Amino acid sequence: MLMIVEPGQTFSCNDATNQIAPCLNYIIGQGGDAPPTECCNGVRALVSSVPTTPDRRAACEWLKGAAAGFPAIKDDLTNSLFKKCGVSVEFSISKDINCQTIP
């Protein structure tokens, strides 16, 4: 997946991949009732790495592309992932989200 990031932005696709990777089993429905600690640690790290609107939009676009690339993910699990990890953000992991509306 190719993501163009403008200079000055802090979002990194490689970092995001490493941060969200521990969540994969959970979001495909093979990880139990709650996301694992490693997943939530990664989610918190991802959210803290996107302090600006351009960063949040870049992260949203990356997550959108990742969701589209993994048809096995469960929408109900991805939509609640951030909340279950105790993180409040303006976006979710969804192939249908309009990232340009992220503040």
Instruction: Output the domain CATH number for residue 26.
Output: 1.10.110.10
Q: Residue 81 sits in which domain range? A: 13-88
Number of domains in the chain: 1
Cα(84)–Cα(34) distance, integer angstroms:
7
pLDDT for position 52 = 92
Interacting residues of 87 by C-beta distance below 8 A, sequence separation 6+: 40, 43, 44, 47
Residue 8 domain flag = no
pLDDT for position 32 = 85
Q: What is the pTM of this model?
A: 0.83
48-100 pLDDT, tens per residue?
999 999 999 999 999 999 888 888 899 899 989 999 999 988 888 888 899 99
